[in-house]
Amino acid sequence: MLLDFEPINLDKQLEYFSHFTACSEKASDYSFVNLWGWAEEYGLFWAWTDELVWIKQTRPQVAYWAPVGAWESIDWHECFYKYISNETLFMRVPENLLQCWKRDMEKRLAIEEARGHWDYLYSFTDLVELKGNRLHKKRNLLSQFKKKYDFKYASFGKEMIELAKAMQEDWCTWRDCESSESLLAENNAILRILNSSQRLEGLSGGAVMVEEKMAAYTVAERISDDTLLIHFEKGNPAFKGVYQAINQVFLEHSAGDFSIVNREQDLDNPGLRRAKLSYHPLDFVKKYRVKLLPA
């Protein structure tokens, strides 16, 4: 039976969220905001069956992402026999789903660890309080920022979103996005999310303002009752400590009883990996690249 793929659209986001909620492990890739924001960059499409939402990318190569739904209740041998007949590459496969696949058809799997796609999970309280010797440098930079600048925090509304779009344009100038495919793609995804922000469920954001100018902003999404996903954080490098400030101040003002912060992947970027590890993650959402071999 062929899967009927269609473009990802805003009208089905609540229906999609019910499938995402059923996943026993919630990887950042599969939040609706991420699918929507990156849909054009990866050429993402989805197909709906009774129990699952199937996701396929068409750029830069054709591959499937993990199916979204209640993984543990699926007979995967029967499911793949029904929908996937040829050798197929699956990317960004969370560990819990991989264990289900191993349970039902381990001999058909060629598995490769995808370390660059692992999500970093942190204690919400740790990131707000920054206590202890291991976070001393972060706390010190935050303190310097607060002492040096007369700043205010502002939650996202229509005006803040317009200011964030303007700051994102400036940030791309500072970082020369035009010379980097990855930064240009990220910029396109950010603008797509900001332009659709009023229609995206669970989206939140905030900004640090210095002398009425935006020094930094962040965009986040509630992906479960206890987990807040940070999508983007951008700061003006002229303000020392600005990233430590937006990180801490946004969480301090976040509404919701969150215990975990998911700060997404490092994409095998050495500098980004060092930065994410420096905040001492509690755990990771591990993901894999899996080739499904013919039966």
Q: 39: domain CATH number? A: 3.40.630.30
In a shared domain, residues 63 and 146: no
In a shared domain, residues 98 and 127: no
In a domain, 130, yes or no: yes
In a domain, 270, yes or no: no
* Residue 255 pLDDT level (bands cut at 50, 70, 90): confident
- Predicted confidence at residue 181, as pLDDT, reads 95
- The share of the chain scoring above pLDDT 90, in percent, equals 97
Asked if residues 27 and 36 have their Cβ atoms less than 8 Å apart, the reply is no
In a shared domain, residues 241 and 136: yes
Asked if residues 159 and 167 have their Cβ atoms less than 8 Å apart, the reply is no
In a domain, 208, yes or no: yes
* Residue 294 pLDDT level (bands cut at 50, 70, 90): confident
Average pLDDT of the segment spanning 256-283: 96
In a shared domain, residues 104 and 225: no
- Structural domain containing residue 223: 119-264
Structure tokens, 95: 């560990």
Supply the mean pLDDT for the chain. Answer: 97
In a shared domain, residues 125 and 14: no
In a shared domain, residues 126 and 23: no
In a shared domain, residues 219 and 188: yes
Say whether pLDDT at 182 is over 80. yes
In a shared domain, residues 99 and 159: no
Asked if residues 21 and 91 have their Cβ atoms less than 8 Å apart, the reply is no
Asked if residues 37 and 13 have their Cβ atoms less than 8 Å apart, the reply is no
Per-residue model confidence as pLDDT tens digits over 101-153: 999 999 999 999 999 999 999 999 999 999 999 999 999 999 999 999 999 99
In a domain, 15, yes or no: yes
In a shared domain, residues 165 and 251: yes
Say whether pLDDT at 295 is over 80. no
Average pLDDT of the segment spanning 222-239: 97
* Residue 195 pLDDT level (bands cut at 50, 70, 90): very high
In a shared domain, residues 89 and 156: no
* Residue 1 pLDDT level (bands cut at 50, 70, 90): confident
In a shared domain, residues 79 and 208: no
- The HSE-up count of residue 276 (CA atoms within 13 Å, CB side) is 26
> In a 3-state reduction of DSSP, which class is residue 180?
coil
d(CA 142, CA 139): 5
Say whether pLDDT at 80 is over 80. yes
d(CA 186, CA 58): 17
- Predicted confidence at residue 235, as pLDDT, reads 97
- Predicted confidence at residue 150, as pLDDT, reads 96
Total domains in the fold of the chain: 2
In a domain, 162, yes or no: yes
Per-residue model confidence as pLDDT tens digits over 5-56: 999 999 999 999 999 999 999 999 999 999 999 999 999 999 999 999 999 9
Average pLDDT of the segment spanning 150-171: 96
In a domain, 273, yes or no: no
In a domain, 146, yes or no: yes
In a domain, 269, yes or no: no
Say whether pLDDT at 256 is over 90. no
> In a 3-state reduction of DSSP, which class is residue 82?
helix
In a shared domain, residues 165 and 247: yes
